[in-house]
Structure 1
Amino acid sequence: MAHEVIMPALGMAQETGKIVSWQKQAGDAVKIGDVLMEVETDKAIMDVEALADGYLGSISAAAGEDVPVGQVIALISDKIDAAPAVSHELPMASTEPPTGQSIIMPALGMAQETGLIVAWHKAPGDKVGAEDILLEVETDKSTMEVPAGHDGFISALLADSGQEVPVGDVIAVISTTAPKAPFQSTAETRKPAQEPVGDPSPAPVELKAATATQIVASNPVVVPGSRIFASPKTRRLAAEQGLDLGRLVAIGHPQPYHVADLEKLHNLPLAELNNEVQSLALPNQITARVPSGGTQDFLDWMQEEGNVTLAPSTIWIAFAAAALRSALEAGDDILVISLMDLQAKVRSLTNPDRARLSCLTESDPDAVASLILRDLSDSPITGIRLAGSKEPSLSITTLGNDYQICLDFTTDQLSDLQAIQFITEFSDRLTDPLRHLL
């Protein structure tokens, strides 16, 4: 006789549950009370336990799949030979992904070889627009949002959150019509995490350090207050032992966390924590959105009236220097603005706000920059948060017919008031370049 394992209702209004991971594999012997899987619903991750003794088999839903409440997802059989073969793929009409527009892992940096998928914002079968955010990709020390680039429906997702994918590999397929059987797979074999038998219960350790919300990771990038994915048992043991799961986030240990991960946390040297916090803390950020028409109108005017061709970044760098000088009340101080493009090529200019746009002065290679300006306008990036640097960082991306402006800074570089004044004055200049230049 086989016992059915169904997706449980873990909340009053719950309609589906997402399988985070399987804790048992097909053929494993299970007992009543053993954790079979972890299910995410709303804002919690819950352990689902076996309600019968036997052998697990006939698993019909994979990790990462949303399953309707009440649907049968596995069987527990009396005999091991009664357990059918296991499929870790989602149901689909054929063995090949649906046809459509292939979405590849983008190259977001000159030397980038792989990208880490931090999170998918769309699921198989979802309808998407070209400017909808499809996923977040981490490269180097930043996490970037990548738009879909095409209108249609998600026919296939070919990589998991948390997976590193080589640049150029296909990670999704967008079709023009709604797929009958959305496809989800991974480039690597899934290996469900196993919780150790018994309770290791390492000795309690007193932590004299920051809490999880005060520690921010560079791999993956996590903003303060973000959720930490861990099983209830792991959270309970961590609290009992005085262990901070935020430290695992800070060193880039992959989530979700299980009891076995507490041993690594237990062995982390406390002496290094202050350095972790200082080096991984993200700066403050202010964003603004400005119509790009003003800049383009000015560039057209310069071409028609003076036969002068300028890049938009030339105007940006002059306006950034002028706005920074005003915010800092720098007077006649020397300001060096470093311009960085998508290929990470750097051009440093001295006092670009006090020179003709066609005759900007290059800085000494060893000069310390007052501000880094990143021109990301030709990339698909629509939003960005960068890890802390020695200088304030101003990034410009495009969003439809607008410029998206992001200022990353620390209080050591700019006060809140100075940062607000800077981004306001810079935005005003971009809106009406001719008035400010003349």
Structure 2
Amino acid sequence: MPHEVIMPALGMAQDTGKIVSWLKSAGDAVKAGDALFEVETDKATMEVESPADGYLTDVQAEAGADVPVGQVIALVSDTAESSATVPAEPATTNDAPLPDGKAVIMPALGMAQDTGVIVAWHKGLGDPVAAGDILFEVETDKATMEVEAGADGFVAALLAQATEAAPVGDTIAIISAEKPANPVQRSIADGGVLKPAPTPDPAPKAKDDPKPTPQKATKAHAVTSPDGRILASPKARRLALEQGLDLNRLAQAGHPQPFHVADLEALRAMPNQNVETAASSRRLTADLPMDGSGAFMEWAAENAGLTDANALLAGLAAASLGRDAATITVESFGQSRAYTVPAGPFSAIAEAEGETAPDLILRDLRMSRVSTVHLGAEDAPVLTLTQGGGGLSITLECAADALSAGEAVSLLSQFAGRMEQPLRHLL
């Protein structure tokens, strides 16, 4: 039995494809997976593979021809002879009679829903379907859902195009029991959908419960679709969310909607200021149940004669950096002092001479009413102390190139431990 070679849909908004060149000639033996021809759309040039082993026959279009999506353009037959069985082109006008079969209507996925936008058709004209097969994806203001065919048979009519909004209850497809001789393709713009009859067929069963999902996070940024939404397949939305990609940037750049997984490659190639900004800085916070530094300051003053509390803070911070020597700037009560902290006892800590660039800035806001900080990266990593929950909150902010992720975690963990139990870390 010959296998049909059809013009594929390489994009969800594609209506036609241009045959760039045939890579096989009529009568050539082919294997399943062999490239038969190259097709060009407005987005890419792709090779189309043979669906089966056999011989290429009944070629219906030459190189350079624009062919509607879904049209049969050749056969892969058991012999090299023409079979003369290429089916007629689908009827595309509204004058074509609709085939008999089960009506597929736009389902209501929410109580306040009036219309649903068709994101993509998963089956084409003439395709065989089972009742549980996914027929199309529909987007509402609540979610993007996959909708099942609801009946076994063949796709005899598609009465709405991808990206079009169909009213709830209107017939948008027909599933026939027999393979249609003349399947019908229409669009809503041309009056394709049928208004519901007095006793319409029940709505197809949605595959999932129509609840908001994380995939819709991107939709809040939509700016180009007429109703303020971005059209994209659920998989494209999920991958974009996982990878921190903003689909809105594709819309702003003029890429046609709805977006598919292949469109994410173009999005990744675009400079993304938001992602770059987020990745250029680090911010970590540690919350301690108690602040042990006060008792430590009293102990150091009574037993070692160390009365400069800022110098002691600089010593704890420098020790957390894990360096032999460091310059620490301590900011408190509106004043700023820089300390040189060598390896050895805290008694060797001294105020830095001249304007030395600090290795670390320690900002003490425990006496202020500030409870949280998010000031961004500065020239050096910044540790900020604030009161929090009856204890102490420590926030580390730095540029990504100042400390690696591991170094940032180590610095904050070490300093938090020293502030909670200073003597334990000194002994």
TM-score by length of 1: 0.35
TM-score by length of 2: 0.35
Which structure has more relative contact order (CA 8 Å, sep 6+)? It is 1
Q: Which has the larger radius of gyration?
A: 2
